[in-house]
């Protein structure tokens, strides 16, 4: 491995608490650049990097994948400048790929209710775990990695909040609903496992794949297309429903654990819909059928 890339990855661990999957993604992106340039990426020129981005676009690679690779390259060269390996940043004038606007996919409140009802109807052992997982995810907006990493003691007693360790080791506190606490207590009662959601074997936490499978089964039982249901869709559902019911973006940022409020702003479509309803309900000129208030 290139020694500069190795130092960059070590920095990601030491300063940002980057997870293994994050490191592998950065390494893969930088390896791709190295393969294109024939090695020696630390000395790359702006022109050669522009050629690399053009090659990515010409290969038909999705715009989001191009943007992710450019982000990895930019962070690498900023690191080199900071460490005085280079005096200049050749990525400064590179154009970012134009990304299509996409709205977060989420379920309706009725669909979440149906999913919870289906979870309660699963075989007893599966029902306890799946119901607790859904209640906690929907009550807190947690990431699935945060959920499955919860120790059994995390929701013990009468705790009304939950301390979550998120990306980069950042901690945040989220309130718990009564339903989430009750479901977790029912799941953890009488057990001595380390994890709230144990896997097979029980000494290990449940895997994402195992949880995703049971979630898809519940979706089928609820009459919802399984392709529309995932842990991240539940996170989007939590955020969208919170905003629709009056939460503000700054509070939502704290609950979701976003480092930058710009990330939270993907949900502004919900705010726009809410504002439109407010205008239609309260503006003096917003009359049924667009009728003129003077009757003209």
Out of 104-108, 113-117, 186-190, pick the least confident.
186-190
Q: What is the pLDDT of residue 199?
A: 87
**Band (287; pLDDT cuts 50, 70, 90):** low
Per residue in 169-222, pLDDT (tens digit) is 788 888 888 999 899 888 887 778 889 898 888 888 999 999 999 999 999 999
Per residue in 52-67, pLDDT (tens digit) is 999 998 998 888 889 8
Per residue in 221-247, pLDDT (tens digit) is 999 999 999 999 999 999 989 988 888
Catalytic positions are: 143, 167, 232, 235, 258, 267
How many Å apart are CA 279 and CA 226, to the nearest integer? 36
Instruction: Tell me whether residue 147 is exposed, middle or buried, using C-beta atoms within 10 angstroms of its C-beta: 0 to 12, 13 to 18, 19 or more.
Output: buried
Torsion of CA 229, 256, 28, 65, to 10 degrees: 60
For the ranges 25-34, 87-96, 285-294, the maximum mean pLDDT occurs at: 25-34
**Band (293; pLDDT cuts 50, 70, 90):** very low
Out of 75-89, 109-123, 203-217, 258-272, pick the least confident.
258-272
Helix (H, G, I), strand (E, B) or coil at 25: helix
Task: Give the domains, in start order, of the chain with CATH numbers.
Answer: 3-82 (1.10.150), 109-276 (1.10.443.10)
Q: List all residues 6 or more positions away from 14 whose beta carbon is below 8 Å from its beta carbon.
A: none
Instruction: Tell me whether residue 249 is exposed, middle or buried, using C-beta atoms within 10 angstroms of its C-beta: 0 to 12, 13 to 18, 19 or more.
Output: middle
Q: How many Cβ atoms are within 10 Å of 65's Cβ, its own excluded?
A: 13
| Whole-prediction pTM | 0.63
């Amino acid at each position: 491995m290139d020694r500069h890339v190795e130092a960059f990855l070590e920095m990601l661990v030491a300063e940002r608490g980057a997870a293994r999957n994050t490191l592998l993604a950065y390494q893969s992106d930088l390896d791709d650049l190295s393969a294109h340039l024939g090695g020696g990426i630390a000395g790359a020129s702006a022109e050669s990097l522009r050629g690399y981005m053009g090659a990515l676009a010409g290969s038909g690679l999705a715009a989001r994948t191009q943007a992710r690779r450019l982000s990895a390259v930019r962070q690498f060269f900023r690191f080199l400048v900071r460490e005085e390996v280079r005096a200049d940043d050749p990525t400064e004038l590179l154009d970012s790929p134009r990304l299509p606007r996409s709205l977060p996919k989420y379920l309706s409140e009725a669909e979440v209710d149906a999913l919870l009802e289906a979870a309660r109807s699963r075989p007893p052992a599966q029902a306890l775990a799946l119901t607790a997982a859904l209640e906690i995810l929907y009550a807190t907006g947690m990431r699935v990695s945060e959920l499955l990493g919860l120790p059994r003691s995390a929701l013990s007693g009468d705790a009304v909040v939950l301390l979550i360790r998120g990306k980069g080791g950042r901690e945040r506190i989220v309130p718990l609903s009564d339903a989430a606490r009750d479901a977790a207590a029912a799941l953890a009662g009488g057990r001595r496992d380390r994890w709230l959601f144990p896997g097979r074997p029980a000494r290990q936490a449940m895997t994402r794949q195992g949880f995703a499978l049971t979630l898809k089964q519940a979706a089928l039982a609820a009459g919802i297309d399984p392709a529309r249901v995932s842990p991240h869709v539940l996170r989007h559902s939590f955020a969208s429903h919170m905003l629709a019911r009056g939460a503000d973006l700054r509070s939502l940022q704290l609950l979701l654990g976003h480092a930058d409020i710009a990330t939270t702003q993907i949900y502004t479509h919900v705010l726009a819909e809410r504002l439109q309803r407010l205008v239609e309900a309260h503006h003096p000129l917003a009359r049924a059928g667009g009728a003129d208030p003077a009757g003209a």
